Structure 1
Amino acid sequence: MKQPPIAKLYEAYSAIADQRVQQLDETHWQITSSDTAQYYTVISSDAAQTFSSNDNATYWQGYAGYPILAVWLALGILPINQQVLPAFEKINWHARNEAVHNHYEQAINQFLSEQTDDMAKAIQQSLADQMSQLATFDFTIKRNRSPKK
């Protein structure tokens, strides 16, 4: 599995914090974007060893985009750090990323600068640990052609 950039995990945490992940049935989820302008579809198959999504990162780059990561957090495949979760509420990553011309690291640094020093450190450590976990995952990631809404 191709490793996603850490920025996608930040976006996934916000989707969980804002309760924008909706399970439609056993294999389908709908994830609302941070600006609420779009919905993405995540589908699992092959006994949940394969996940597909129609978000741009998954579709064009071939790694698990934030909608898949958000589903993994919701399912407990990737454990949620409840201590840092409230910091991710109401963060419009779309607007933040656009403001810095998709230099995701700048958007993350801006977000972290808005936190207390202790919270910023806890977020960075927690998400770094989760990125290490992701590196051990053996899932198949595919793009799906479900229309974005």
Structure 2
Amino acid sequence: MALSGTQWKMPPLVKVYEALGAIGDGRVRIEDGRRATVVSSDESKTYEVETSADGREIASNDNASYWQGYVGYPAIAVLIARGFYRPPANVTDALAGVAWKELNGKFKNDWARTIAEVEKALEQAGHDPDAVRSEAEAVLSFLRELQPVHGKRIPPPAEKPAAKSRQQTPTGN
């Protein structure tokens, strides 16, 4: 368990892609000066993120942040939404609509394969995958320079329950 004030580990590059996609999708909601929420790509979870005024202290309850100890995509997306880093709109727009959870599951969290699949789709859609990768790497450099530290620990959210179908209850004698 990470202690408050300890430095976050750096995320894999794919998490920066996911954060840029969350911005492109408009899935980040700033609640107030500290709190924000980010909806997952499949809309099954809503993550809570808290940041200090300078963005350096971060608390997030996404699985990567909570269990793996690196800055997860919701926290990265919130830093971007709060203006601590400003990627070009063409990059966030290019990554909008990517079904990250589905892709990560398909490739069993093999991040390189996920990125390769996304870059192939970007190219097919007329976007420049090299420009997107370059911007994602620039965001990662920004995070390294920021040297974010852990804020208070927020428990992870539960999956939203699947829609229940109405079941007939058999009546007996």
Instruction: Figure out how many residues of one structure are paired with residues of the other and give that number.
Output: 149
Distance 1:104 1:57 in 2: 13
| 1:113 paired residue number | 120
Q: Which moved more, 1:138-147 or 1:23-32?
A: 138-147
Q: Is there any run of 5+ residues in structure 1 with no aligned partner, and where? A: none
What residue number does 1:145 align with?
154
* Structure 1 letter corresponding to 2:138: D
Supply the distance in 2 between the matched residues of 1:78 and 1:124 (Cα, whole angstroms). Answer: 16
Q: CA deviation at 1:142?
A: 4.1
State which drifts further: 96-105 or 80-89.
80-89
| Matched residue SS, 1:115 | helix
Distance 1:48 1:81 in 2: 20
Give 2:141's aligned residue: 132
What RMSD over aligned residues (CA atoms) do the two structures have, in Å? 1.8
The 1:118/1:15 distance shift into structure 2, 3 A limit, reads: closer
Report if the CA contact (8 A) 1:87-1:115 is conserved.
Answer: yes
Counterparts of 1:59 and 1:142, CA distance in 2: 11
1:78-133 deviation per Cα after TM superposition (whole angstroms, max 9, x unaligned): 22221222111111100000001111111110010112276111111111222222
Q: Find the residue that maps to 1:114 and give its secondary structure.
A: helix
In the alignment, structure 1 residue 100 sits paired with structure 2 residue 114: no
Contact 2:33/2:53, CA 8 A, preserved across alignment: no
CA contact (8 A) 1:41 1:146 kept: no
TM-score, normalization: structure 1?
Answer: 0.90
Give 2:137's aligned amino acid.
A
With structure 2 as the length reference, what TM-score do the two structures score? 0.79
Q: Which protein is bigger by CA-based radius of gyration?
A: 2
